[in-house]
Amino acid sequence: VGNRSRVAVTRDGRLAVRGATDFALHVWELAAGRRLHVMAGHAANVTTVALTADDRLAVSAADDGTVRVWDLAAGRLLHTFDVGDGQPVAMCLTPDGAFALAGTHLGE
């Protein structure tokens, strides 16, 4: 399923990850209504957020032309991929747990 949302919710409904205009991802524990992490690293607006099938990793894309992979439990950046000059606007992860990423850029 494609994801153009800046919000992703874990399959168990416990956590929500939101891409914000402060260029960071905010991880919320929904039942408690409290923020667990602010994961900073992008240099522009976050355009889309997705979670891996096991809900361990969050993947975000931003107008800075990067895709970043985050450890959701630890709240830390694991990898950064430069995807070029375009603005990534949507991405999709495989539901079987393999880490394949498909994405689209603005105007492409």
Question: Could you state, in chain order, the average pLDDT of each consecutive group of 10 residues for the chain (108 residues)?
Answer: 68 93 93 95 89 90 89 94 72 66 54
pTM above 0.95, yes or no: no
Residues 4-28: b if buried by 16+ CB within 10 A, e if exposed: eebebbbeeeebbbbbeeebbbbbb
CB atoms within 10 A of CB 59: 26
Burial status of residue 79 (CB atoms within 10 A of its CB: 0-12, 13-18, 19 or more): exposed
DSSP classification of residue 3: B
Q: Which of 83, 86, 77 is nearest to 101 (CA)?
A: 83
Closest Cα partner for 70 from 38, 30, 107, 106? 38
Q: What is the pLDDT of residue 77?
A: 96
Question: Contacts from 78-83 at CB under 8 Å and sequence distance 24+?
Answer: 80/41
How far apart are the two ends of the chain, measured CA to CA in Å?
19
